């Protein structure tokens, strides 16, 4: 039986802040410097994850291992190229991974094949439109990673997660941006960086589940990224393009700002991520 959600008289109004952020982020980036930027960015991300030996996913799986059992059946929402899927598949009976993007699924299947992961089912569907009755109590763990900004209604998303789980839910989300991205934003846009594209979204989820009366566990870890200068330029341009058009002139300016921070043509950075899980 699912725990009841408490209904508090006084609640934190997180909705207005999140709506303002979403209104900015859901504007498609204006990236006229390269018509194939989406395909290249997806390939960049998969390459970064694979070449980093799935460090983000391995560290996530290490935290999950504190409550997982080998017999567990897992539902993953928004697997991307398999960042967490690949290492987690070694610890559980099976994973069902749901992703709406065929581009993501292409890279996911490639990485699963290369790593010999045979216990993962990949489903190409919109998670928010999947039938709650069919999903109810179907999985021991339901989780998402780097996904919270992809959905308009966060409460609906978490409610669907709890409905599909019979034991645990978890959320993994990157935390913070490196200083270089912020500095480049200020130079290119002429505006002081105000957190316009911070990846953090876990605090909204935390407020929701605490208001519901859940008692989440919270942990965090650091992980590294390695990119070529071209890959870093595309990454930064994708963020800044939501605020100003990034044409060929601006992308070259971004390159000028990024290049001095690379060593032998390689850019290295250390990032952080938050892991939050709770029992149903």
Structural domain count, the chain = 1
Q: Please report the pLDDT score of residue 266 as a whole number.
A: 94
pLDDT digits 0-9 by tens, 230-255? 999 999 999 999 889 999 999 999 99
Q: Please report the pLDDT score of residue 23 as a whole number.
A: 84
Q: Please report the pLDDT score of residue 150 as a whole number.
A: 87
Q: Please report the pLDDT score of residue 26 as a whole number.
A: 73
**Structural domain for 227, as ranges:** 15-279
> What pairs with residue 165 in β-bridges?
139
DSSP string, 33-84: T-TTHHHHHHHHHHHHHHHTTTHHHHHHHHHHTTT--TT-EEEEE--TTTTT
Contacts of 272 (CB under 8 A, 6+ apart): 174, 175, 176, 220, 221, 222, 223
Q: Please report the pLDDT score of residue 205 as a whole number.
A: 96
Predicted structure pTM score: 0.94
Comparing CA positions, the residue from 174, 145, 146 lying closest to residue 75 is 145
Q: Please report the pLDDT score of residue 197 as a whole number.
A: 81
- With respect to residue 150, please indicate whether it lies within any of the assigned structural domains: yes
Q: Please report the pLDDT score of residue 237 as a whole number.
A: 95
- With respect to residue 10, please indicate whether it lies within any of the assigned structural domains: no
- With respect to residue 6, please indicate whether it lies within any of the assigned structural domains: no
* CA 158/CA 52 separation, integer angstroms: 30
**What's 108's domain CATH number?**
3.40.50.150
Q: Please report the pLDDT score of residue 124 as a whole number.
A: 98
- With respect to residue 1, please indicate whether it lies within any of the assigned structural domains: no
Q: Please report the pLDDT score of residue 28 as a whole number.
A: 74
Tell me the two tokens of residue 75. Answer: 């539902």
Tell me the two tokens of residue 121. Answer: 């089912």
Which residues in the chain show pLDDT less than 70? Answer: none
- With respect to residue 43, please indicate whether it lies within any of the assigned structural domains: yes
Computed on alpha carbons and rounded to an integer, the radius of gyration of the chain in Å comes to: 19
Comparing CA positions, the residue from 63, 87, 114 lying closest to residue 274 is 63
The continuous run of DSSP H or E covering 211 comes out as helix 202-211
Q: Please report the pLDDT score of residue 146 as a whole number.
A: 94
């Amino acid at each position: 039986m699912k725990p009841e959600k408490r209904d508090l008289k006084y609640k934190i109004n997180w909705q207005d802040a999140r709506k303002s952020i979403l209104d900015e982020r859901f504007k498609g980036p204006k990236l006229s410097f390269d018509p194939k930027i989406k395909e290249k960015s997806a390939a960049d991300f998969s390459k970064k994850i694979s070449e980093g030996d799935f460090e983000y996913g391995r560290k996530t799986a290490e935290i999950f291992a504190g409550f997982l059992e080998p017999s567990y059946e897992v539902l993953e929402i928004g697997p991307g190229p398999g960042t967490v899927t690949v290492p987690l598949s070694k610890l559980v009976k099976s994973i069902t991974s749901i992703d709406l993007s065929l581009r993501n699924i292409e890279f996911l299947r490639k990485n699963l094949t290369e790593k010999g992961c045979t216990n993962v089912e990949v489903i190409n569907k919109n998670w928010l439109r999947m039938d709650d009755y069919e999903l109810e109590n179907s999985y021991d763990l339901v989780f998402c990673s780097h996904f919270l900004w992809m959905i308009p209604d966060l409460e609906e998303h978490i409610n669907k997660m709890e409905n599909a789980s019979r034991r645990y839910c978890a959320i993994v989300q990157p935390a913070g941006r490196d200083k270089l991205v912020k500095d480049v934003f200020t130079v290119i846009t002429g505006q002081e960086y105000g957190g316009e594209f911070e990846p953090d979204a876990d605090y909204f989820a935390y407020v929701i589940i605490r208001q519901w009366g859940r008692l989440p566990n919270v942990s965090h870890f650091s992980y590294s990224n390695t990119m070529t200068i071209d890959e870093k330029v595309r990454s930064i341009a994708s963020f800044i393009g939501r605020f100003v058009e990034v044409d060929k002139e601006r992308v070259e300016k971004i390159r000028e700002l990024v290049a001095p921070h690379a060593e032998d043509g390689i850019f290295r950075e250390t990032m952080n991520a938050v892991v939050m899980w709770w029992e149903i």
